[in-house]
Amino acid sequence: MVVLYQKEITHAPVETLLSSLIESDPQPREVIEFARFLLTGLSGREAVIDQLIKKHVKNWEIERMAIIDRNILRVGCYELLFLDEIPPKVSINEAIELAKKYGDMDSPRFVNGILDKIYKTETEKQDSEPVSE
């Protein structure tokens, strides 16, 4: 979350921000590897993910959302859509926990509602699409 927040504010490269964070706040190797994995996966997919979020948010512009909420939603969407090895309920619950920790009072409910809609509508579409052989 720290790196994504800083990226929004400074527009600095993610790897530079991650290196700086690791330098100032060392973390276990597994944490760093997973953070790098998520940041790399999100990179280049922001536009697709943002369009999906916009599709499921009523009366909100993604640009006007709190930076924390927007980035929690991006990570949650990325996990839901691209990381089959993470159960959807785990991704949603983790996003809610991040919203409780970093967002405001309404963030957990907001994040839960949007990710739940995305999970229900987008995974149904994926399940109903014919498999090409």
What CATH number did the domain enclosing 69 receive? 1.10.940.10
In a domain, 133, yes or no: no
Check pLDDT > 50 for residue 130.
no
What does the pLDDT read at residue 126? 53
pLDDT for res 125: 55
Q: What are phi and psi of 102, to 5 degrees?
A: -110, -20
Across 68-78, average pLDDT: 96
What pTM does this model have?
0.87
User: Are 35 and 55 in a shared domain?
Assistant: no
Number of Cβ within a 10 Å radius of residue 20: 14
Give the C-alpha separation, 86 to 22, whole Å.
25
For residue 85, tell me if it sits in a domain: yes
Whether residue 63 lies inside any domain: the answer is yes
Q: Tell me: do 9 and 70 sit in the same domain.
A: no
| Stretch 35-47: mean pLDDT | 92
Say whether both 52 and 12 belong to one domain: no
- Whether 57 and 111 share a structural domain: yes
120: in domain: yes
Are residue 64 and residue 86 in the same domain, yes or no?
Answer: yes
For residue 95, being part of any structural domain is answered with yes
Residue 91 lies in a domain: yes
90 plus 118 within the same structural domain: yes
> For residues 66 and 110, is the Cβ–Cβ distance under 8 A?
no
The total of structural domains in the chain comes to: 2
**50 and 110 co-located in one domain:** yes
The reply to whether 65 falls in a domain is yes
Domain, as residue range, for 19: 1-43
Share of the chain above pLDDT 90, in %: 80
Of 65, 129, 121, 30, whose CA–CA distance to 74 is shortest? Answer: 65
pLDDT in tens, 15-40: 999 999 999 998 899 999 999 999 99
3-class secondary-structure state, position 67: helix
Same domain, 17 and 39: yes
